[in-house]
A and B are shown apart, each in its own frame.
Chain A
Amino acid sequence: MLKEGLRLNFYQFTLGCILFAFIPYQLKSQVADSLDLNVIIISAETNTGIPALKSIELDSTVLSLAQTRSLGNVLQNFSAISIKTYGSPGIQTPTFRGMGASHTKIYLNGLDISPSSLGQSDLSILPGFLFDEVGVKYGNAAFTEGVGAIGGGVMLKSNAKSTPVGTSLVLGGSVGSFGNQALQFKYGFKTLKWESVTKYVFQNGANDFNYRNIAQPNSHDVSQTNSRLNSHGVRQTLKHYLNAKNTISFNGILSFVDRDIPGLMTDVTPSQQEQKDETLILQMGWKHYGTRSESDLIIGYNYSLLKYEDPQAQINSTTINKKFQIREDYDYEVSKHWALNATANLSWATAENVNYSGSNNQMISSVLVGLNGHLSSRWEVGAFVQPTWSQTGTESGNIDVLPMVSVAFLPKKNKTFVIGLNAAQNVHYPTLNDLFWVPGGNPDLKSEKASNAEVNVHLENDKPGTWDWSIDGSGYYGNVENWILWQPTDKGYWSAQNLKSVEHYGGEIKAGIKKNISKVKLSFTTSYQYVRSMNKDVNDASLDKQLIYTPEHSANWLLSGGYKTWGAFVNYNFVGRRYITTSNSSYLPEYDLVDVTFTYQLRKDKWPNFDFQLDINNILNKEYMSVAWRPMPGVNGQFTIRYILN
C-alpha cells in the first residue's frame, strides 16, 4: 500500500527537478546550527507571566517535522487538544477539556481569528508553516486573552521571533502519497531598522487513498473520490524598529483553499460537494517599552469567505465574515514584586448570508484589569476582573463582570517547582448563526456562563549534569450554564436554544526527559489527558453522560533521537472511545496511530544546506475514523527537501 501511495507521477518528478534547478548554488551558505526553521517546540514554560496558569508553546523539533501539516494535525499529535477530522480533506475542529469547538478560540498575535458566523475555526485550512509559534493556553489561562475561550485558546504568532541581522531563505518541496505535493517558500531579511518575513505555502493532492468500506456489502476496498485539495497561503510580516522603545509591525495572511468534500462511507452515490475558503487577515501593531511599563497595541481586520456547493442537494451557500478588532495590552511594574496588567479588547463582527435576516452584527468588548505579584519568595498571587459588554443586532447590550484569582506556591523559590491554583468565571456569547440564521436563529439566546477552577503542578530537574526531565500535572473542574444547542422544533426546522448545563472535570499529565549521550541526543515526551464532560439539567438518558465526540482518554508521545545531523522521530497518538449518542449507547472505537520521521541535514562547507525529511504516517496501517463513516488514510508517506540559506 505504501508503494502504491508513494507513486511519483510526471508532474511531481518535474516539480522536483525544477526545485533543484533553481537552487542558487553560487550563494555562499552558512551552516545552520540547529534544526530550527521557524518552528514549534513543546516546552513546559508558562508564557502568561502568571505561574498558576497553564500554557505551553510548541516549537523547534516538533514544528520542523510538522511544516507540511495543518494546524489541526499539529495540535492532534502534539498537544492536549482533541481534533475532530471530517475525513481527508475535511474540516478539523478542536475539543479542549470537554468543551465545544467554539469554546476553543484561535488567536493570531492576540486577536481572535475565528469567523463570527460559526464562532469556530477550521484548523485544516491553517497551514502550520505560516506561523512562527504555536502555543496552547489551558482553561483559565485563556481568560487573559479576552472572553469566550472556555476550553482554552490556541495562540498563533507570526511576529514573534526576532532574527539576527541578515538574510534567510528556505525553499522546500514535498511529494507524497495520494498525489500530494507541497511547496514552501520563506524569505526573510533584517536590518537594524527593518525586518521582513515573506512566506508562501502551496499544497495540492488527490487524496484518493484506498480504504475498506465496511458500510457497504462485503466490506470491499474502494478508492476515495471527490477528495481533491488545492491550497495557497501567503504571509507577509514587516517590522520597523523606530527606536529602542518603539516598534511598529504589519502582518498579513492571505489563503485560498479549494477542496472537494468526500461523501460518507454509507453513500452509494458519489459526492459532488465542494468548498472554497478564502481568508484575509490584516494586522497593524505598535509595541512600546517604557521604563517600567510595556504597551502592545494591535488593530486587526479579518475577512473570510466560505462557499459551499452541493449540486445534489441544490445547496449553493456563501458566507462572508468581516471582523474589526482592537487590542491593547498594558503592563506596569508597580514595584519590584508587583505588576499591574491590563488588556482591553474591542471587536465588531458582521456576516453576510442569504439566510441571515435583520441586523446581523455583534460587538464585544472587555477590559481585563489585575494585579499580579509576590507575597513572598514562595508565594505569588494574582487578582483580575474583566467587565465585558456585548451587543448584538439592535438589542441593547449585556454586561458581565468576570473575576479571576490565582495563587502559586514555589517551594524552591524558583519556577522549577510550582503549585498553582486558579479560578475564574467566563462567558461565551452566541454566534451570529445562533442568533440570526433563518430559520432557527434565536435572537433571545442567553450567553453561556462558565465557572472553572484548576490546580496546576510543574516540576523539573534543577540538578545540572543529570537527566533533564520535567513533569506537568493539572486537574480542573467547571460547569457551563445555558449551553447552546440546535434542536428540531415543532415548526419543522432546527433552532438554537439554551438547553442544558454541562459539567466537566479532568486532568492532564505531561512528562519529558532529555539526555545527550556522547553524540546521541535522546528525548522522550509523553502526555495523557482524562476528560469527563457531562450533560446536566436534562430529563433523559443523556443525564451525566459524556458529551459526544469527546474522548475520555487520549495520549501521545514523541520519541526522538539524533546523531550528528541525522534524526529519527516516532510519534504515537492514542484517541479513546468517542460516544456518538448523547446517552452513550453508541461509540466510535479507540484508535492509536504511529508516525515515523527520518531527517538528515546536509551541512558541508562546499555544499549548500539541505534538509531531507521522510515521513511515514500511520505506519501500522490502522483503520480508524475520527468522525463516523468518514474514512481516514492508512499508511502513507511524504518526502521533503528543503534548501536553506542563512
Chain B
Amino acid sequence: MTRDDLHKFFIRCLGAILVLSVTTSCTKNYDDFGPQTPGGGGEVPQKNQVLILNEGNFMFGNGSISVLNSTTDEVAQEVFKSKNGFPLGDVPQSMSIHDSLGYIIINNSAKIEVVRMDDFSSVKTITGFNSPRYMTIISESPLMAWVTDLYADKIWKVNLDEGKIIGEIPAPGWHENIMKWNDQVIALRKSDSVIKIIDIQDESTIHTFDFTTGVVDFGLYDDNTLMAILPEGIMEINLQSYQANKIASFTPQKNPLKMTLDMENNRMYFIDKDVYQYHFATQQMHKKIKVNVGSNFYGLQVHPQTSEVYVSDAKDYVQPGQVIRYHSDFSDSVVYQTGINPQHIEIY
C-alpha cells in the first residue's frame, strides 16, 4: 500500500464516520427518551398481593411499585408505569388502601397518586402538598384523610372523594407516622420526638408524649395500647390513661430503623442493621436475621394471617433491591426482586 492509498483509505474512513452519524442522527429519535428499565411490567397478581413501594433515589424520579403473589411467587415490576405510561414519581413514601383504591403518597413529587387496586391504573392525582409522608383516613362520608408533611408545618386535610386538599391543621415541625384511633388521631412529630393525640372533631391536641431520644416508629398493639420504638428501648403507651412505660431497654442504645407488630404471636420485629424479634410475653429479644455484607435491610412487615416476615434489602441503595419472605419460624425463605430502595411493604 502506497502513502497515497493510505491517505485515500483514511479519508474514506472519515467520510464513512460522517455519513453514518448523519444518517443515524437524522433517523433515530426515541419516543420515550427518559430512563429505561428493561424487564419492567408483567402480569399483576390478583390474589395474595404483597405490594412493595420502592422509593428509588432522591431526585432520580425512579420510584416504583412491585407486586408479588406470596402463593405463586409471581412478581410484577414497575406496575404503575407499565399500566399508565408515566412514572410514579420521586420517592414514594407510604401507601394506604381503602376499598378498591390505593393512595400512594409520593414525597418529593408532592402528590398522592390514586390508583385502582386491581390493575394500578391511575384514577387521579392529588396535588398541593409540600413534602407529604403518611396519611390516615378519618371519615367515610365524605371520605376524608389527614396527611402529614415533612416541611409544611401543617397536617393536610384531604377530601379523597373530590381528590383535593380542603384545609390544613397548623402543626409546626416534621410530622411522620399518623394513625386514626377511635375519634382521635395519633401522630408522630419526628423533629422533636413527640407523639401527639389530636381530637378529630375540634382538631386540637389533647395530649403529647415527649421523649428524650428519637421515636422511630410506632404501631397499635391492642385497642388501647401503642408500642413505640426508640434508640433507648420499647415504650408501651396507654392511650386511655396516657401512661408511658419502658418495657424493654436497649443497652447500649440501638439505631432502630423500622418496626412492625406480629399480633398473632405477640411479638415485635425491628431493624437495627440486623432484624430483631422481641417477645412481649417473655420479654426476650433475639437477633433473628443477620444482615450479609453488601445488604442493607430497609423495610419490614409481618403477614397478618400467616405471620410470615417480609424484610426488604436495599443493597447499595442505587440498584434494584430484594424482598425476602421468611417463614414465621425462620425455617425457610424466598427471595423476590424489587425496584430500587424497597421500603414500604403493604399486604393486601
Contacts and interface: CB of A to CB of B under 8 A. Distances in A.
Given A313-B151, A587-B36, A628-B60, A548 B318 contact: yes
A540 interface: yes
B33 A268 contact: no
B21 A572 contact: yes
A217 B121 CA distance: 11
Contacts of B131: 312-313
B61 A623 contact: no
Interface string B26-64: 101110111111110000000000000000000111100
A214 B318 contact: no
B36 A629 contact: no
A466 interface: yes
B90 A312 contact: no
Interface in A550-609: 555, 557, 559, 572, 574, 580-583, 585-589, 591-594
A467 interface: yes
Contacts of A557: 17-18, 21
Contact of B61 (A215, A492, A555): A215
A215 B86 contact: yes
B255 interface: yes
A542 B319 contact: yes
A491 B255 contact: yes
A215 B22 CA distance: 29
Contacts of B110: 267-269, 312
A266 B61 CA distance: 6
B109 interface: yes
A555 B18 CA distance: 11
A32 interface: no
A594 B21 CA distance: 10
Contact of B3 (A217, A463, A625): A463
A539 interface: yes
Interface in B60-105: 60-62, 84-87, 89-90
Interface in A256-310: 264-269
A574 B22 CA distance: 11
Contact of A589 (B30, B60, B111): B30
B86 A539 contact: no
A265 B10 CA distance: 44
A513 interface: yes
A242 interface: no
Q: Is the interface of B mostly helix, strand, loop or mixed?
A: loop
Given A488-B296, A539-B292, A586-B35, A266 B89 contact: yes
A214 B130 contact: no
Interface string B310-336: 000011111110000000000000000
Interface string B292-317: 11111000000000000000001111
B127 A266 contact: no
A540 B3 contact: no
A314 B34 CA distance: 29
A37 to B, nearest CB: 27
Contacts of B232: none
A375 B14 CA distance: 37
B60 A540 contact: no
A539 B294 contact: yes
Interface range on chain B (Cβ under 8 Å from partner): 35 or more
Given A487-B317, A524-B14, A542-B316, A214 B21 contact: no
B273 A264 contact: no
Contacts of B318: 542, 548, 581-582
A592 B25 contact: yes
B75 to A, nearest CB: 14
A625 B33 contact: yes
Contacts of B289: none
Contacts of A491: 255
A19 to B, nearest CB: 35
A314 B153 CA distance: 10
Contact of B33 (A466, A490, A585, A623): A623
Contacts of B29: 620, 622-623
B125 interface: yes
Contact of B319 (A216, A581, A592, A624): A581
A467 B7 CA distance: 8
Contacts of B257: 490, 492
A77 to B, nearest CB: 14
A583 B313 CA distance: 14
Nearest to B126: A268
A469 interface: yes
Contacts of B34: 214-215, 265, 588, 625, 628-629
Interface string A522-544: 00101000000000001111100
A582 to B, nearest CB: 4
B25 A620 contact: yes
A583 B90 CA distance: 20
A540 B272 CA distance: 20
B184 interface: no
B111 A268 contact: yes
Interface of B: 3, 7, 10-11, 13-14, 17-18, 21-22, 24-26, 28-30, 32-39, 59-62, 84-87, 89-90, 109-111, 122, 125, 127-131, 150-151, 214, 255, 257, 272-273, 292-296, 314-320, 340
9 contacts: A217-B85, A266-B90, A491-B255, A540-B294, A548-B318, A574-B21, A591-B30, A620-B26, A628-B60
Interface of A: 214-217, 219, 264-269, 312-314, 461, 463, 466-467, 469, 471, 487-488, 490-492, 511, 513, 524, 526, 538-542, 548, 555, 557, 559, 572, 574, 580-583, 585-589, 591-594, 620, 622-625, 628-629
Given A312-B110, A629-B61, 5 more contacts: A490-B257, A539-B293, A580-B62, A591-B33, A629-B34
Q: Which 6 A-B pairs have the closest CB atoms?
A: A539-B294, A583-B319, A266-B61, A629-B61, A586-B37, A490-B255
